[in-house]
Amino acid sequence: MTAPGRLSWTDVRDRIRARILNRTYAPGDRLPRDEDLALELGCARATVHRAMQELSQSGLIERKRKGGTHVRAHPVTRATFDIPITRREVEQRGSRYAYQLVSRQLEVPPSPVMARFGIHQSGPMLHVKAVHLADNRPYIYEDRWIDTGSAPEILNIDLTTQSANEWLVLNKPYSRVDVRFHAIKAAGEIARQLAVATGEALLIIERTTWIGDQPITTVQSATAPGYQLISQG
């Protein structure tokens, strides 16, 4: 990676992490200044800074100007998840993807939907329900609301051939997203569309996006039984 004997920032990161792991620096402790660590390890302050940045991002330490660097007193497990376009997810599993529009209509969203956007009133939004299939079996059922103010073009898209999921992800990038997971019992339309028994436990992925302060879309994706979300390395 680097000239032998010279420390790269990953080396520095690993060394400092090791010290945190072996409690040379225990939770809550203050670490030496970047400059002193640089001196001790024999590298530039910039190299220590780069390493610290990484450790900070991974949730292991906290840094403050003048306050210095501290090992997080209350460690957390930080996990990152990538949620791809459903079509791609299915295809990458090696399955055949298909998609079916269930319904599409302009409606004033009910208050739980407005709450997800953080608004209290709203004009009509486009309400779209659809099923994604993997090898002809239901994979995800999505119930989506789209703000036609921020995405008016969606009204002219033929949603029987292209999923709103795909169109939005490719054409309406967001500046903020809220993701949450929970579990529900299959019932009513969800059970029917996923072709599962009422009472089946389903993982729900709820995503809401904004561009600036403007709502774009909120979607509740009910996954087929057995669906797992797996963190990225």
Partner DNA sequence: GAAATTAATATGTAGATACTTATTTTTGTC
Partner DNA sequence: GACAAAAATAAGTATCTACATATTAATTTC
**Residue 47, contacted partner among its own copies, DNA, none, CB below 5-8 A by kind:** DNA
To which residue do tokens 């306050």 refer?
A: 67
- Pattern of binders to DNA over 91-120, x per CB under 7 A? ------------------------------
Cα separation, 224 vs 233, whole angstroms: 24
Q: What are phi and psi of 61, to 5 degrees?
A: -130, 165
What's the chain's length in residues?
Answer: 233
According to CB under 7 A, which one of 25, 60, 69, 208 is a site residue for DNA? 69
According to CB under 7 A, which one of 68, 84, 123, 225 is a site residue for DNA? 68
Q: In the complex, which residues of this chain contact its own copies (CB under 8 A)?
A: 17, 20-21, 27, 57, 59, 74-85, 88, 169-170, 173, 175-185, 199-204, 207, 211, 223, 225-231, 233
**Residue 11, contacted partner among DNA, its own copies, none, CB below 5-8 A by kind:** DNA
Exposed/middle/buried for residue 166 (C-beta within 10 Å: 0-12, 13-18, 19+)? middle
Nearer to DNA, 36 or 153 (CB): 36
According to CB under 7 A, which one of 15, 17, 19, 49 is a site residue for DNA? 49
- Pattern of binders to DNA over 7-46, x per CB under 7 A? xxxxx-------------------x-xxx------xxxxx
Q: What are phi and psi of 146, to 5 degrees?
A: -125, 130
**Residue 9, contacted partner among DNA, its own copies, none, CB below 5-8 A by kind:** DNA
Distances (CA, A) of 6 to 1, 41, 50, 60, 189: 10, 10, 15, 25, 62
Cα separation, 107 vs 102, whole angstroms: 15
Amino acid at 199: G
